[in-house]
Amino acid sequence: MNNIKLVCSKGHERTTIQVGEAVFGRDFVVIAGPCSVESEEQMLAIAHAVKAAGAHLLRGGVFKPRTSPYGFQGLGLKGLKILVRAREATGLPIVSEVLDTRDVSWMSEYVDVFQIGARNIQNFSLLKEVGKARKPVLLKRGMYSTFAEWLNCAEYILNEGNPDVILCERGIRTFETYTRNTLDLSAVPAIKELTHLPVIVDPAHGTGRASLIQPMSLAAVASGADGLTVEVHNDPKAALSDGDQALTPPEFAAIIRKVLSLRTFMESLN
């Protein structure tokens, strides 16, 4: 890594990115919502619940990158309109994943933060396109990305003129099968050594097991993360995607209470 000279490398004061009332890189920011937007009723129920529990941003997928072409592919524009109504109802800014260069321009009319998923981490055309957009980008680590490669992906976005990149550790692929991925929390302090960009953690994709979300969320706070993104569903068993790793609203509320309490403690520790 020594010979990498990137704009995103350290030697710059830490980047802060304001979205709604939350500031990535200063506050501990919680993003929550369902894996997929399924209906207006579902979305509004979840949005009100996660807002009440302390979430700062609302997430929900409308274009889903599914392993199989026969899996649920998302509601598309209809889903975005539902997200917008949930934002109007709660005031929570919205984060949603973009999969296609052709969608960046028009989707930026709806979303507050673009998410780039792990499977598109080296879709360089898409990185360049969101680099031209005027919206922050949540850039998930690829399941096979080294830190150096991940930072180069961020650099593709910065190099197009968009400085507002939030990195997100979401687990890497290893030989372990009990967890869906291996959540690499050492990425949090390591990435902070290497870049001035904020870094958050996705404990649900990182482990694939609802029972591991609380301990890994707390560990993420203690490791120095700038926030979390968590999947919450009002009826996980009926979810159209990723139900195994979604929290119910009461579970989410209990975890966030502990998470925010721990964050306050950690600030007193330094």
Task: List residues binding a second copy (CB under 8 A).
Answer: 1, 65-70, 99-102, 119-120, 122-126, 142-144, 146-149, 152, 155-156, 159, 172-179, 182-186, 188-190, 193-194, 206-207, 209, 211-212, 215-216, 218-224, 258, 261-262, 265-266, 269
Strands 22-24 and 17-19: antiparallel
- Min dist CB 90 to a second copy, Å, is 28
Question: How many Cα atoms are found within 13 Å in the side-chain-facing hemisphere of 160?
Answer: 22
Dist CA 194 CA 106 (whole Å): 33
List, in sequence order, every residue forming a beta bridge with 165; answer none if it has no partner: 137
Task: Report, in Å, the least distance between residue 194 CB and a second copy.
Answer: 8
| Cross-strand pairs, 94 | 58
Beta carbon of residue 207, minimum distance to a second copy (angstroms, whole number): 5
Q: Which is nearer to a second copy, 20 or 54 (CB)?
A: 54
| Smallest separation, CB 119 to a second copy (Å) | 4
Comparison of 93 and 155: residue with beta carbon closer to a second copy = 155
- Is the Cβ of residue 39 or residue 264 nearer to a second copy in the bound state? 264
| Residue 253 CA: distances (Å) to CA of 52, 59, 247 | 8, 16, 9
Q: Using the minimum distance from each CB to a second copy, give the nearer residue, 91 or 161.
A: 161
- Judge whether 1 and 9 are in contact, CB under 8 Å: no
Q: Is 163 helix (H, G, I), strand (E, B) or coil?
A: coil
Output 91 or 215, the one with its CB closest to a second copy.
Answer: 215
Q: Distance between CA 119 and CA 181 in Å, rounded?
A: 13
**Least CB distance to a second copy at residue 235 (A):** 24
Least CB distance to a second copy at residue 216 (A): 6
Helix (H) / strand (E) element for 263: namely helix 249-269
Tokens found for residue 210:
């609802």
Closer by beta carbon to a second copy, 90 or else 115? 115
